[in-house]
Chains A and B, each alone.
Chain A
Amino acid sequence: MNSLRILVIGGLTTYRALFNWVSPWILVPSLLVMPLAQILLFSYIGRSAGIESDTFFVVGNAVQYSALPCLLGTASTVVGERLQRTLGIVLASPAPRLALVIGRTLPVMLNGLAVSVFGLVAGSVLLGLPVRPATLGLATLAIAVSVFGCTGLGLVSAAVGLRLRDIAVLSTILFGILLLCSGADIPRPALPGWLAAAGDWLPLAHGIAAARSVAAGGGIGGVGGDLAAEALLGLGYGMAGVLMLRLLERRSRSAGALDLT
């Protein structure tokens, strides 16, 4: 019961306490205006260059933009403890560590999902694309799985950031790599082989492919493989992130690896 409360109440509390963007003045321009700007930018580039459809860019960029709140939000709620100098107090508590970490990712995933669905709907409306409820439902499922994948990577980045302290730079670099490798704006067959291969092992590429397939009228049966691959990647990165955080805590006790003052 205590683990469940830490998961839900603790997760929400740390999200409010540590994610700097939980303020209308930052959240609206960063997570609502900016994704729309990215969607419109690439859609108009696509139109003027005569490549791909508006749907290609709307879906790709709407799903890809969830990476920003997922990467930065997850890292902020973990690394923020160090910056706020609350890490020592949290680690001195007997709270179950898995609940403590996973709880922080729940509001992050909801945020990422909301940003992507908003981008998808608002981008479609602005570009005159149809929004069908059945398609939107399946696309939301694909987005949810993509958000899970990104949040897993966010946990790895949080563990690295806990040592390096600078999470904004790390998250921005990862955001750029995902923009390039995920096929959000460049059809993956057009990418050099090594970049496409990197995309296969990073979150989003499979999720974007599934969302595009759904937007094109495909059913859930046709995207099961992509969704499973995306979910497995998220699980793998998430487990790696949790293990890295556990290792860091142990190293902190034995070697003073974390500054807990």
Chain B
Amino acid sequence: MSVIEVSRVSRHYHVRSGLRWWRRQEIQAVRDVSFHIDAGETFGLLGPNGAGKTTIIKMLTTLLLPTAGSARVLGFDVASQPGEIRRRVGYVFGGDRGLYDRLSALDNLRYFAELYGVPARAQRQRIAYVLDLVRLAGRERERVEGYSRGMRQRLHIARGLLHDPPVLFLDEPSIGIDPVGARELRATVSALADAGKTIVLTTHYMYEADELCDRIAILRDGSIVAEGSPADLKSRVSEGEVVEAVVHSLPADAIARIQELAGVRSVTVRDLDRAQVLLVQTKPAAQLAAEIAGCLRGTAIQSLSVRAPTLEDAYVELVGGT
């Protein structure tokens, strides 16, 4: 049974630019997006910045209206029944936003318990439960301003669970968290999924999506460019291989030469601090490592390796491949 149904949803904004305020520009944030999410499923929305992930979450949590199409959460229409949806979903931000720094974690939770209509008699028990669930019990009387990012993020999740919603929206929950904190967060999300919550997760981290999500939709420029299980998405590129080179001062004509090689599916360049990572996805049995090295003649090559594709490669090919 579908808990979330999104049917041909679009959303555009008007922004004003320049000193002449009447110069309006239309930004198409989400274009004709459709998907469904079943009960108990963990569904990932992946895509680069500006791909439309947060806009979709905002529409599903009733903060924004779709400009076209329709969406239903737990059978309620996001446009005409916002109150019904708000009572039944939890919305968790990532990053430093969304908490009252000057208050203790306990006061934050008490306040949001009021906003979400948790009965006064049940509040103490519920707050103790969610604090325990996110491993913040014992630290609840400290001011949030003294919390680490990982603790804040876990407190966000506790806040989102106060009213025991069957559906949870997690918008980049692991952004800016150290690896240990991120691992703890994944364990928490995994436990929630095991408890039967339907989870919609946006993230930039492939390993996170790979570990947590039953299905993933990859977004580019507001549209879904691929949808399926992590295994499905990986299989799209698994028949080839990836040549990965770390280089310095990569000339543009080298990229053009590599793109022209027979058997190349996509070429992507990612900038590091002092180097660039060149990712070349090739067709099966193309064995292009030597030819690619030839195209890079005259360029300082730090390393060059050939490996099997990962989910990240599938993602890169779908959203950034050229």
Q: Would A9 and B102 count as touching, CB distance under 8 A?
A: no
From A12, which residue of chain B is reached at the shortest CB distance? B111
The verdict on A13 contacting B103 (CB below 8 Å), with A5-B114, A94-B87, A95-B115 known, is: yes
Q: Would B63 and A260 count as touching, CB distance under 8 A?
A: yes
Q: Shortest distance in angstroms between B108's beta carbon and chain A's nearest beta carbon?
A: 8
A261 neighbours in B (Cβ, 8 Å): 54, 97
B54 neighbours in A (Cβ, 8 Å): 261
A5 neighbours in B (Cβ, 8 Å): 114, 120
Number of interface residues of B (CB under 8 A): 33
**A190: CB under 8 A from chain B?**
no
Q: Shortest distance in angstroms between B48's beta carbon and chain A's nearest beta carbon?
A: 16
The verdict on A253 contacting B97 (CB below 8 Å), with A13-B103, A92-B86, A94-B86 known, is: no
The complex places the Cα of A14 from the Cα of B108 at a distance, in Å, of 10
**B13: CB under 8 A from chain A?**
yes
B102 neighbours in A (Cβ, 8 Å): 16-17
The verdict on A85 contacting B116 (CB below 8 Å), with A13-B111, A261-B54 known, is: no
Q: Which of B96, B97, B114, B116 has the most CB of A within 10 A?
A: B114
* B-facing residues in A1-59 (Cβ within 8 Å): 2, 5-6, 9-10, 13-14, 16-18
The complex places the Cα of A31 from the Cα of B277 at a distance, in Å, of 59
Name A89's contact: one of B62, B93, B96 (CB within 8 Å): B93
**A168: CB under 8 A from chain B?**
no
**B228: CB under 8 A from chain A?**
no
A85 neighbours in B (Cβ, 8 Å): 93, 96-98
Number of interface residues of A (CB under 8 A): 29
Q: Shortest distance in angstroms between A83's beta carbon and chain B's nearest beta carbon?
A: 10
**B129: CB under 8 A from chain A?**
no
Name A86's contact: one of B63, B99, B110 (CB within 8 Å): B99
The complex places the Cα of A261 from the Cα of B202 at a distance, in Å, of 14
Q: Shortest distance in angstroms between A172's beta carbon and chain B's nearest beta carbon?
A: 23
Interface string of B256-283 (1 = CB under 8 A from A): 0000000000000000000000000000
B112 neighbours in A (Cβ, 8 Å): 89, 93
A88 neighbours in B (Cβ, 8 Å): 58, 63, 91, 93, 97-98
* A-facing residues in B73-92 (Cβ within 8 Å): 82-83, 86-87, 91
Q: Would B64 and A256 count as touching, CB distance under 8 A?
A: yes
A residues whose Cβ falls under 8 Å from a Cβ of B: 2, 5-6, 9-10, 13-14, 16-18, 84-86, 88-95, 100, 252-256, 260-261
